[in-house]
Amino acid sequence: MKIAVAAVTKQGVEMAERTALMLSESGDHETVLYLPGKFSLLQIDGQRRLYRKPLREVLGGIFGEYDGIVCVMALGIVVRLIAPYLKDKTTDPAVVVIDEAGRNVISVLSGHWGGANALTVQIAGGLGANPVITTATDVRGLPAIEMLAKEHNLVIEPFELVKKVNAAIVNGSEIVIYSETPLDIVQTENIKLKDFAGYSSARKEKGRVVLVTNRTARSFPPGTLFLRPKNLCIGVGCRRGVTGQEVKDAIRDALEQSGRAVSSVQSLASIDIKSNEAGLLEAAGDFNFPVEFFTKKAILAVQTTRGNELGFSQMVNEKIGVGGVCESAAILGAGEKSGLVMPKMKYGKVTIAIAEGSSL
């Protein structure tokens, strides 16, 4: 994490320096100190920024620049100063407060998703202080659904249901998690983990349902929380001069036809002779998908070892020396043990295939 450590008093500066040094030496974080200009003569190791503006402006200026903000000062001051800058729990940084004596380290904001709770525990351990965490699931020793998602690189849809699912967990209501892949989670009397193959939208569940899947279907009932694995790669073949809109339309249609979620797409993939194709690059940028380009040799290797699974185009083979691009590229992008969940489909000037990785 990139962390700002801020202080307002001389004693606070000393604690801030100690904290920043400890976090930097852990190897987990990059830290920058924000200190009052009147203490500029103090010898401080590491990166530092001296401020002379009001602290409210300082915190406002750095609020969107750092993953975490550690404030060595009174909790009440911090709450008042950051209030105007709060936006959303998915984007707000982790905020942690330390008292000047280093007795207590308090998780203030973005405890789960932003990592403030974990940062609080780490700082308290390094300083020999008392970690103060008030999140209900942590206090009760229960799993929080957003931490499950974060630990397994799952995308939450829709995020607003997280509060309802966590409330159900804390209140002892039944939560059933149907997953397409094994998950390492703590099961309790009310939290059950089941194989996704056993899920049926026709069955009436007693409590909340969480589905860990890249699948989409109109039959999934309202109020279902989805955790999307990033395990799909979309292979793209295209003619020269294809537009970005044509590529985007083809991708959307392919995902809809295959019943797969756009949020589960980890990357696009194609052959390296398409690495400068403007329309393909435009589509990747608009979707915010990474794009990988593979050599003809790599494409041919997949066609040699897994040719019985793939289509073959004599025209493409005569033109660029491989019997097809999108299927082999999708498999290469999704990983060695991946398989096609949608074979090559033609959409005008674009061909699309979708491969799924074997695990999260």
Residue 102 · residue 75 · CB < 8 Å = no
Q: What tokens appear for 169 in the block?
A: 């967990």
How far apart are alpha carbons 277 and 70 in whole angstroms?
Answer: 45
2-7 and 48-51 strand pairing? unpaired
- Tell me the C-alpha distance between 156 and 270, whole Å: 28
User: What are the tens digits of pLDDT across the range 100-110?
Assistant: 999 999 999 98
- Output the CA angle 78-80-85, nearest 5 degrees: 90
Question: What whole-number distance in Å separates Cα of residue 28 and Cα of residue 31?
Answer: 10
For the chain, give the mean pLDDT: 89
Contact between 29 and 66 (Cβ < 8 Å): no
Q: Using alpha carbons, select from 109, 51, 104 the residue that is nearest to residue 74.
A: 104
Residue 360: predicted pLDDT: 47
d(CA 57, CA 26): 30
| Sequential DSSP letters for 234-252 | EEEEE-TT--HHHHHHHHH
Q: Delimit the CATH 3.40.50.11220 region(s) of the chain.
A: 2-134
The Cα angle at residue 122 between residues 120 and 128, in degrees rounded to 5: 95
* Residue 58, both tokens: 């300082």
Q: Considering the domain 2-134 in this protein, what is its CATH number? A: 3.40.50.11220
Q: What is the pLDDT of residue 44?
A: 47
First to last CA, the chain: 23
CATH architecture under which domain 145-229 falls? 3-Layer(aba) Sandwich (3.40)
Q: Give the pLDDT band (50/70/90) at residue 206.
A: confident
Superfamily (CATH) of domain 232-356: CobE/GbiG C-terminal domain (3.30.420.180)
State pLDDT tens for residues 293-352. Answer: 999 999 999 888 887 888 877 777 777 777 789 999 999 999 988 999 999 999 999 999
Q: Percent of the chain, pLDDT > 70?
A: 97
From-to residues of CATH 3.40.1390 in the chain: 145-229
Give the Cα separation of 326 and 305 in Å (integer).
Answer: 16
Read off the pTM.
0.77
Share of the chain above pLDDT 90, in %: 60
Q: What is the CA radius of gyration of the chain?
A: 25
- Tell me which of 74 and 218 has the higher pLDDT: 74
Dihedrals phi, psi of 235, to nearest 5 degrees: -85, 135
State the span(s) of the chain assigned CATH 3.30.420.180.
232-356
The pLDDT tens digits for 17-66 are 999 999 998 888 999 999 998 765 544 445 888 888 899 999 999 998 99
Query: Can you read off the two tokens belonging to residue 69?
Result: 């903000």
